[in-house]
Amino acid sequence: MRAPRRLPWASKTELSELYELLFAPSADTASRQRGVARMSVYISSPSCPAFIHLLHTLVAASLRPSPPQSAEESQSTRLAMAMAVVRFVNGMVDPLQTGPYARPISHIAASLGIPPSLVSLRHRATHEDLPPLPLLEQSTYQAIEYIHRYSFLPMLSSSSLEGPAIRDRRTKIQGLIGRWKRVMKERLREREVREDSESGKEMRRVRRALEAEDAEDVVEALCAEGALVPLARKKRPNINAVQPTDTSLLVWVPLLAHLGTSNPSIASFLADQILTTLLSSDSPQDQDGTSKSAVDLTEDVNEKRNERISFRWTLATWFLWIWTSGEAEQQNLCLDKDEKDDLWRRLMTGLIHSDEIVVKLYRSLLRIDPGRRGLTGLEACLLEDGADEELAGLEDGHSDGHRDKGDILLEMENRLSQLENKVNKGFVSGDSGNITLVDGDVDGEMVGQAEKGWRLVPENEWKPCPIGMWTSA
């Protein structure tokens, strides 16, 4: 039997209280100070998770008075914030330095999804002059947001904080979901439509078993990989699709419709769970800790990124289907106006993170439901064009994550030829009083004249000397 894991907090409720003190919309300076005080107690325990140590340092640095009232206070604030960012990057990267050779920090940070700006600031704060205070403040909040999204939220939803009974119940539900998928795929292959067949009886048994389970637990199992989201990426909808694949609809809509009959809130639970997953998606982690080359590491990061995007967009297509087609398919799978309004507000709140999938989902909803216009004045700030660039290359649903080397070399050659043409056209000639730009060779036509006082020195007048020195002719 595995020994229980020790934690500095007594229950998950206590950890949730800390989250509310730090990250709730109503959190203010006073509540965050209470959160820092509580974390000070937690970090005194040897069993405290590492991210709590880092979060304590970052939040404490962010709570220092701003703007500083003196030069000494400004310097101490810069030191505190710089050290907090340095500790954050080192604390996240060092546990993965497990190979026989040290790997570059930037490569490990990329595999963890840490912004490159934080890695650059760490180097600058360690080896150069301290960065300016505004840049340090921005980096501190960026590090806090990273811990919030990729450490704190997963900890809150971790099954390790739950009792064995809850874990056993969820394992049972996952098994029932797997049985349903196998039966439905078998019926689709054999084109079976009879309800009195063996597969039809198995369907009824699975439906009855799922009816007895908690609807929220069933929805959580449906949103996991291998249920609504197929395991194989080629079986998922491509990045331009606005609804799940036909096969997925044939497999899962009958189950959703039946669950909606016994629990009319199933559509609301499912849409809420999908949106929660999209707004709090985990970053890809490099789990093996083995030493890899830069090329292998880059390919691994690209593969994980593409897998994450494919998984999240598949869930987003189910969200779009519930929003629109659910009402057409079954009346018990539709969302009412109040539920849509609540989901819409949550989606708009998530746009502030500039997540490419969330932005794409927002734009897709605007196309299918044009009556919802809530960010007209903010779209220029929140909906950047970078989201489309992040998704480039995934249109066919099975991109390898990087461009073809031949295309890259061809583009480099085109740019080189353009540069050579500019150099040839910009040939310089002149006398002692001015400089003249001519097209082609020296005898060509004059196309422009620069300021007087500059001229091209002939070879017989050229005299080499050290940089920064001047000697009279």
Could you write out the DSSP letters of every residue in 392-421? TT-TTS---SS--HHHHHHHHHHHHHHHHH
338 contacts 271 by C-beta, under 8 angstroms = no
* Separation CA 321–CA 339 (nearest Å): 15
pTM over 0.95: no
The Cβ of residue 391 has, within 10 Å, a number of other Cβ atoms equal to 19
Strand 446-449 with 428-430, pairing: unpaired
* Separation CA 293–CA 299 (nearest Å): 10
Q: What is the mean pLDDT of residues 265-286?
A: 72
What are the two backbone dihedrals, phi and then psi, of residue 174, each rounded to the nearest 5 degrees? -60, -35
Compute, in degrees rounded to 10, the torsion defined by CA atoms 149, 273, 319, 257.
170
* Separation CA 346–CA 353 (nearest Å): 12
Tell me: pLDDT of 5 over 50.
Answer: yes
- The answer to which of 165-169, 204-208, 293-297, 377-381 has the lowest mean pLDDT is 377-381
Tell me: pLDDT of 292 over 60.
Answer: no
Q: What is the mean pLDDT of residues 379-398?
A: 46
- Residues contacting 350, CB < 8 A, separation 6+: 275, 278, 279, 358
Classify the phi-psi angles of 226: left when phi > 0, otherwise alpha if psi is within -120 to 50, otherwise beta: left
Tell me: pLDDT of 380 over 60.
Answer: no
* Separation CA 299–CA 257 (nearest Å): 41
**What percent of the chain is predicted at pLDDT more than 70?**
75
Q: Where are the beta strands (DSSP E) in 159-240?
A: none
Q: Any idea what DSSP says for residue 465?
A: -
150 contacts 283 by C-beta, under 8 angstroms = yes
Q: How confident is the model at residue 400, as a pLDDT?
A: 41
The CA-atom distances, in angstroms, between 149 and each of 97, 225, 343 are: 23, 20, 19
pLDDT digits (tens, 9 = 90+) for 55-95: 999 999 999 988 888 888 999 999 999 999 999 999 999 88
What are the two backbone dihedrals, phi and then psi, of residue 10, each rounded to the nearest 5 degrees? -75, -30
Tell me: pLDDT of 391 over 60.
Answer: no
Tell me: pLDDT of 3 over 70.
Answer: no
The Cβ of residue 74 has, within 10 Å, a number of other Cβ atoms equal to 15
Q: How confident is the model at residue 108, as a pLDDT?
A: 87
Tell me: pLDDT of 405 over 70.
Answer: no
- Residues contacting 348, CB < 8 A, separation 6+: 362, 374, 375
Q: What is the mean pLDDT of residues 242-267?
A: 84
C-alpha radius of gyration, the chain, whole number: 30
Looking at per-residue pLDDT, the higher value among 290 and 280 belongs to: 280
